[in-house]
Amino acid sequence: MKHENIGAIILAAGLGKRMKSKLIKILHPICGQPMIAYVIDALNKLGIQKRVIVLGHQRERVAEFLNDRNVEIAVQERPLGTGDAVKSAEQLFDEWRGSTSDTGDVLVLSGDTPLISDNTLERLIETHHVSGAEATILTVEMQNPTGYGRIVKDNEGYILRIVEETDAVPEERAIKTVNTGTYCFKVSALFSALKMVSPSNAQGEYYLTDVFEILNSQGGKIASVSADSSVEVMGINSRKELAVAETYLRRQILDNLMDNGVTITSPETVFIDRGVKIGQDTVVHPFTAILGQSVIGKDCVIGPHACIIDAVIKDEATVVFSSIK
């Protein structure tokens, strides 16, 4: 589906201190692709053409990766919070807003959520349109919601506000419904409300989440839709979480290959990157890694103990106990 009246803002200005790395978080690879690539691909599947990414640290390095991916760059000069980050993208939306009038909508999502699917984003957009809300929030239920903003709803199920954990009272911290950091807004409502956000909180930052209370005070409606899984909306903030995402996506890759006629005799010991292509009736044996943009033909036998990196293997070939690059 092509969403011509929907833009997207990807928040990616943070360095990611918990990664303990010189490399900005969104460029850390998962199954052979930087995590930001997965977010952009989800937008591609939705046909969203207006994409703006908000960068701060290492923006030149990120820009190099984004060179041919039709993504505009906005710069957040200082780390003043998510509200300030979104506001830094406003100028790039001015002309687009004129072409879509007040019917335009915008997704706001994080660059460190590579597991989010286009199907979930489609449900968010559909709920937003059907509800007629000023904003719609993607939420999720968590048994242990530590670290997440809590969703406070009214008696009809509409959202009153999001309370960040550092500002929450004990009753609010007990809430299990949390904010995933992914939203769909009416464009005009978003940028109008952002002008009223102030840094009067424990962190001294401009919270994007304050927009929802402002919209409510103006009589606007805030809807919500729940993600199916907390794993899908997980933000990657540490090497441990990076490993969780790698395991999750690697299994998806292997399942897809097996569904399309590839035999993988020991999925627990096989590593295959996202960009790899493998032909029908090829068998992949244990302790094998097929990485990069490798292309494996039909009716091949790969492994055990094979490592293939950015190589082309023709039909009916056998590769065992070998390293090919």
Catalytic sites, residue numbers: 18
DSSP reduced 3-state for 223: strand
Look at the block and give the residue holding tokens 């035999």. 263
Does residue 67 sit in helix, strand or coil? coil
Can you name the residues that pair with 186 across neighbouring β-strands? 105
3-state class (DSSP) for residue 108: strand
Sign of CA dihedral 189, 195, 199, 201: negative
87 in Cβ contact with 74 (< 8 Å) = no
- Under a CB-based contact definition with an 8 Å cutoff, are residues 102 and 188 in contact? yes
DSSP state for residue 149 in the 8-state scheme: P
DSSP H helical segments within 101-169, as ranges? 118-131
Show the beta-strand stretches assigned E in 49-149.
50-55, 72-75, 105-110, 135-141
Identity (one letter) of the amino acid at 311? A
